[in-house]
Amino acid sequence: MIENLRPYDVEYLTNLSQEQLREFALEHTPSIGVTAQGNLNKVSRNKARMARFTFVIAPESDDALYSAKTMPRDQADVLIAAQKEYILGKGKLIELQAFLGLGPRAVPVQWLYTMEGANIAGMQSILGFPTSDVLKDGEAFAPEFRVVYTPDHVPDSPGGQAILVDLENYTTYIMGPDYFGESKKAALRMLNDLTFQQGGLTLHAGAKAVKIGDTSVTMTIMGLSGTGKTTTTFSKQGDVAQPIQDDMVTLWPHGELSITENGCFAKTFGLTEETEPVIYRGTMSREAWLENAYTDTDGVLDFFKDELTADEVAGCRQTLIDTNAPADNVDKYIAGDASLNDVTNDAGTPDDGWDFVKWTQNGRSIIPMSSVEDAADLTAIPPVKSMGILNRDEGRDAATPGILRFKSPEQAAGYFMLGETTKTSAAGKDTGKTRSPFTQPFFPRAFGLQAGRFRELAATMSDVGLWMMNTGYVGGSVKEVAADQAFKVKIRHSSAMLEALITEKIAWTEDPDFGYLVVDLDAPENAALLEKVPAEILRPVTFFEKAGRMDEYRAWVAAMKSERRTFLEKFDVDADIIAATTNDA
């Protein structure tokens, strides 16, 4: 528990209203504007979290105990003292007192921001549960965690940024980044540690309440950024699903689930009312906050903006320069002295110093649960009965089945530990397939601990269904789909597969290569599903057979088994979990 509620001798502005935070953001936050819908949109210097500048405060000798880099306490204390001087010089802090979650598992958190972080405070206050929802009359707020955030303080450290995680005192100090995700994940990272110590496992997962017959149960959906976790969580399968959470939940023995946030943090690139109506309508409401969404000079949002013309760059010139685009390069582009082709490579990736010619696809909206249509009752979460992971497979060797079911907790633990997907814009310039343990870059201790803990918890939930879904492609990517040489897993396909899964209307058969269960294309029970989802998506091997590309498929199988084994061994995962994952005898 945090002992000193007022660690700095400054004025505290505590639990401000949304209107007050909007006013302060417009007054103190750089590069923020009002959209045509009336909500606020901040263009940040950072377009994603800065993992390379994140350190756990611990001796270097303890590196193996943590997933992040470590920094000795004496070195961290120098940076923390400089941040304190910055705060004292500012003279004011915005203080948010709120909870992660509801009920007896709720964790009290104190967030502290200097005034330029008013927009971040506004976003965080949406996601935090107010003290009135948790505390009893007369009960004092006593925080378990503290987050200290100074977006415009430049620390004397590489990159001019530092995120210092003090797990001994459950305090995180954020210096330099101006991206909301650092605030959100700071508390959730500490929650990962606390719940693990208490016997649970916090998952990077959305959750929805679903009905199977007359019984209400909870489904969790894990996935890295860009896999469609939020989209899947907030999409409907007929009338049988209600969203609970979009990002993180904690699993406890016997299927108990505790929640974390009172809203949703959604990607906005490609957002339409037709494909994602709940997220779209929530995003377009005045109550939502936006970050890194594109607006024209009239404040009109464009969720499909990618390449910028010279005129569009001219329209947001000052914002681009204020968010670290080189002024000389910006002016050359505006003047026509450099074209898009001149400053991007063959893959369309901008050269260093020219990132501004393509608008980030990692735009975000922060939506209160009160704006989420048909949300579940967060005070009465049904037990977990279905747990899945999303893999946005892409490329010529993309061969992950549209939907599959794991045969055992060990097999599921292996695939959850792999956290496979294809990198998207949220990962920066890097592309290609990636793996992240439990899709969970926020677990601060050694990553391999998660696989063992999940198996322990699964042993208490014998009737839980464990599955994986491909939300990307089969046999290619955008270009191949346009040429009818590959398949795209569309949102309607995902919804149909999930509805069949949760209503238990799929007949399964064992995959001969990996041992997990896949849709039996010959079973009469699957005829309705095959009318909605192509066989090539349900069983990608049929696509490769028809295309005469079985050599590619066999090479993919061999590569996946080898790479998965190597990855799991790197994290000291138990041998039986590895064997179940690679289907080795």
Residue 585's pLDDT is: 61
Read off the pLDDT band of 212 (50, 70, 90).
confident
Residue 40 lies in a domain: no
Q: Which residues contact residue 157 at a Cβ distance below 8 angstroms, ignoring those fewer than 6 apart?
A: 53, 79, 175
Q: Is 281 among the domain residues?
A: no
Q: Which residues pair with 56 in a beta bridge?
A: 70, 165
**Length of the chain as a residue count:** 585
Q: Report CA-CA distances (Å) from 319 to 88, 351, 565.
A: 28, 20, 46
Say which DSSP state 509 is in: E
CATH code of the domain containing 419 = 3.90.228.20
Do 430 and 574 sit in the same domain of this protein?
Answer: yes
Classify residue 167: in a domain, yes or no.
yes
Task: Find the mean pLDDT for residues 490-494.
Answer: 93
Decide: 471 and 227 in contact? Cβ < 8 Å: yes
Ranking 219-228, 337-346, 514-523 by mean pLDDT, the lowest is 219-228
Residue 196 inside a domain? The answer is no
Could you tell me how many helices (H) and strands (E) the chain has, helices first?
18, 31
Residue of 28 and 428 predicted with greater confidence: 28
- Quick one: pLDDT band at residue 151, thresholds 50, 70, 90? very high
pLDDT the model gives residue 86:
98
Q: Region 127-139: what's the mean pLDDT?
A: 95
Cα separation, 369 vs 37, whole angstroms: 19
Strand, coil or helix: what is 270?
coil
Categorize the per-residue pLDDT at 239 as very low, low, confident or very high, splitting at 50, 70 and 90: low
Q: Is the pLDDT of residue 179 over 80?
A: yes
The pairing of beta strand 54-57 with beta strand 162-166: parallel
Read off the pLDDT of each residue in 244-267 and give the average, rounded to a whole number.
95
| pLDDT at residue 356 greater than cutoff 50 | yes
Identify residue 120 by its one-letter amino acid code: I
- Predicted confidence (pLDDT) at residue 346 exceeds the cutoff of 50: yes
Residues 383 and 507 in one domain: yes
Question: What single-letter DSSP state applies at residue 121?
Answer: H
Per-residue model confidence (pLDDT) at position 426: 44
Domain total of the chain: 3
Give strand pairing partners of 109: 98, 145
Collapsed DSSP state (helix, strand, coil) of residue 100 = strand
- Read off the CATH number of the domain in which 83 is found: 3.40.449.10
Report the C-alpha gap between 489 and 498 in whole angstroms.
13
Residue 3 lies in a domain: no
Do residues 125 and 148 make contact, with C-beta atoms less than 8 angstroms apart?
Answer: no
Closest CA to 439 of 200, 205, 189: 205
Q: Are residues 358 and 379 in the same domain?
A: no
Short-list 267, 290, 284, CA closest to 32? 290
With a cut of 50, say whether residue 462 has pLDDT above it. Answer: yes
Kindly report the CA angle at 445 between 390 and 463, in degrees rounded to 5? 45
* In a shared domain, residues 457 and 414: yes
For residue 214, the model assigns a pLDDT of: 79
d(CA 410, CA 455): 6
The neighbour count for residue 571, using CB atoms within 10 Å, is 15
Mean pLDDT across the stretch 179-207? 97
For residue 334, the enclosing domain spans 289-363
Task: Average the pLDDT over each of 106-110, 136-140, 233-237, 502-506 and give the range with the smallest value.
Answer: 233-237
Q: Which of 302, 334, 363 is the last residue of a domain?
A: 363
Same domain? For 408 and 543 the reply is yes
Strands, E, within 59-170: which ranges? 69-71, 92-100, 107-113, 129-130, 145-150, 162-166
Q: Which of 126, 585, 139 is nearest to 364 (CA)?
A: 126
Same-domain status, 314 and 347: yes
Neighbouring CB atoms inside 10 A of 91's CB total: 12
- C-alpha distances out from residue 257 to 186, 378, 387, 416, 466, Å: 21, 11, 12, 18, 16
Q: What is the pLDDT of residue 139?
A: 94
Structure-token pair, residue 391: 């893999």
Can you list the alpha helix ranges (DSSP code H) found in 261-345?
277-283, 310-315, 317-322, 327-335
At residue 254, does pLDDT exceed 90? yes
Q: Which residues contact 175 (CB under 8 A, 6 or more apart)?
A: 79, 83, 150, 153, 154, 155, 157, 161, 162, 163, 164
Give tens-digit pLDDT for 411-433.
999 999 999 998 654 444 445 78
Is residue 322 situated within a structural domain? yes
Query: If you average pLDDT over every residue of the chain, what do you get?
Result: 94
Separation in Å, CA 245 to CA 213, 225, 250, 467: 23, 15, 11, 19
Residue 223 has pLDDT above 80, yes or no: yes
Q: Is 278 inside any structural domain?
A: no
Non-local (6+) Cβ contacts of 408 within 8 A are 580
pLDDT at 249: 97
Q: What pLDDT was estimated at residue 237? A: 65
Going through 200-296 in order, the beta strands assigned E by DSSP cover: 201-203, 205-212, 215-222, 241-245, 249-251, 257-258, 263-267, 289-291, 294-295
CA atoms of 79 and 150, how far apart (whole Å): 12
The residue assigned the tokens 């400054």 is: 10
Same domain for 167 and 214, yes or no, is no
Q: How many percent of the chain have pLDDT more than 90?
A: 87
In a domain, 433, yes or no: yes
Same domain, 541 and 516: yes
CA distance 203 to 251: 7
Burial of 297 (0-12, 13-18, 19+ CB in 10 A): exposed
The kind and range of the H/E element at 120 are helix 118-127
Exposure string over 57-82, b if 16+ CB within 10 A, otherwise e: bbeeeeeeebbbebbeeeebeebbeb
- 465 with 572, same domain: the answer is yes
Question: Do residue 168 and residue 147 come from a single domain?
Answer: yes
Domain co-membership, 377 together with 451: yes
Q: Are both 111 and 232 inside the same structural domain?
A: no
pLDDT level of residue 216 (50, 70, 90 thresholds): confident
Check pLDDT > 80 for residue 381: yes
Q: What angle do CA 567, 572, 577 make, to 5 degrees?
A: 75
Rounded to an integer, the average pLDDT of 450-474 is 94
Q: Residue 199 burial by CB count (10 A; 0-12/13-18/19+): exposed, middle or buried?
A: exposed
